[in-house]
């Protein structure tokens, strides 16, 4: 079996993070830890907390660091993540969150942070056409719909447009990304923990680039 991995994935909305993280989690046999998916699951329960979370997400704003970091710390402490690692998607999103994630891990435990780069004009096109399964989170688009009547090919769930994929919320999320999350690229680069990978082209070719970046990094680590 391939060795596990401890990976943070960055990239603006629509860069294909979710799609790549699912594939990477299968490849390395480690859990895909997506804060967006965890929050959407909380919303589905209909709890009072879920209702508040939904309001913030639908506006395209960020949840507070405390709630996010508690959720992530809990998940990272589970046996599967401790044993083989994780693909962290959607967190960190601020420098403060990056500091907390670093403190949660043992020094040197993080293999790499990958930034999936896609030009803004292209992510805007992708987001406008994105459709998502409400049950399992599989991504589709208006040009690659499920086979039958907007029912998910994988689980049969309903495939819809995300409520935060409206033009207004998309603009707000991209703006927040530039202000709050883009600085993380320098943060990880200055710690020699960053690889930039082009996110254009087919999902398979992007996956190959990400895996190559991880293996190159591991190869260099062994040579030390």
Per rule CB under 6 A, is residue 126 in the interface with ligand ADP? Answer: no
- Kindly list the distances between the CA atom of residue 201 and the CA atoms of 52, 185, 198, in Å, as whole numbers in the listed order: 37, 22, 8
Closer Cβ to ligand ADP, 93 or 217, answer by number: 93
- Two structure tokens written together for 66: 């405390």
Q: Report which secondary-structure segment, H or E, holds 30.
A: none
Which residues lie below 8 Å from residue 203, measured CB to CB, with a gap of 6+? 16, 19, 20, 23
φ, ψ dihedrals at 190, nearest 5°: -70, -15
Per rule CB under 6 A, is residue 93 in the interface with ligand ADP? Answer: yes
To the nearest whole angstrom, how small is the minimum distance from the Cβ of residue 68 to ligand ADP? Answer: 4
Closer Cβ to ligand ADP, 173 or 217, answer by number: 173
> Which residues belong to the active site?
17, 93, 130, 162, 173
Per rule CB under 6 A, is residue 113 in the interface with ligand ADP? Answer: no
Q: Give the C-alpha separation, 142 to 188, whole Å.
A: 35
Q: Give the C-alpha separation, 4 to 29, whole Å.
A: 6
Query: What residues between 19 and 38 interact with ligand ADP by CB under 6 A?
Result: 35-36
Per rule CB under 6 A, is residue 56 in the interface with ligand ADP? Answer: yes
Binding site for ligand ADP (CB under 6 A): 13, 35-36, 39, 56-57, 60-63, 68, 90-91, 93, 97, 164, 173
């Amino acid at each position: 079996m391939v060795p596990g991995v401890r990976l943070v994935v960055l990239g603006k909305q629509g860069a294909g993070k979710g799609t790549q993280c699912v594939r990477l989690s299968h490849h390395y046999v480690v859990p895909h830890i997506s804060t967006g998916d965890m929050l959407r699951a909380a919303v589905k329960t209909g709890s009072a907390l879920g209702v508040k979370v939904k309001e913030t997400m639908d506006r395209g704003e960020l949840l507070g660091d405390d709630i996010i970091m508690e959720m992530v710390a809990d998940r990272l402490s589970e046996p599967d993540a401790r044993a083989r690692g994780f693909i962290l998607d959607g967190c960190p999103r601020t420098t403060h969150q990056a500091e907390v994630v670093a403190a949660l891990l043992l020094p040197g435990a993080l293999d790499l942070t990958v930034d999936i780069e896609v030009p803004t004009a292209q992510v805007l096109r992708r987001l406008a056409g994105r459709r998502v399964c409400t049950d399992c989170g599989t991504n589709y688009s208006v040009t690659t719909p499920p086979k039958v009547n907007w029912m998910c090919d994988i689980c049969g769930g309903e495939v819809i447009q995300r409520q935060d994929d409206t033009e207004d919320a998309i603009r707000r999320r991209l703006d927040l990304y530039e202000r709050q999350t883009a600085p993380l690229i320098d943060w990880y680069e200055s710690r020699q923990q960053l690889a930039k990978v082009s996110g254009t082209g087919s999902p398979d070719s992007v996956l190959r680039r990400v895996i190559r970046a991880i293996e190159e990094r591991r190869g260099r680590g062994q040579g030390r």
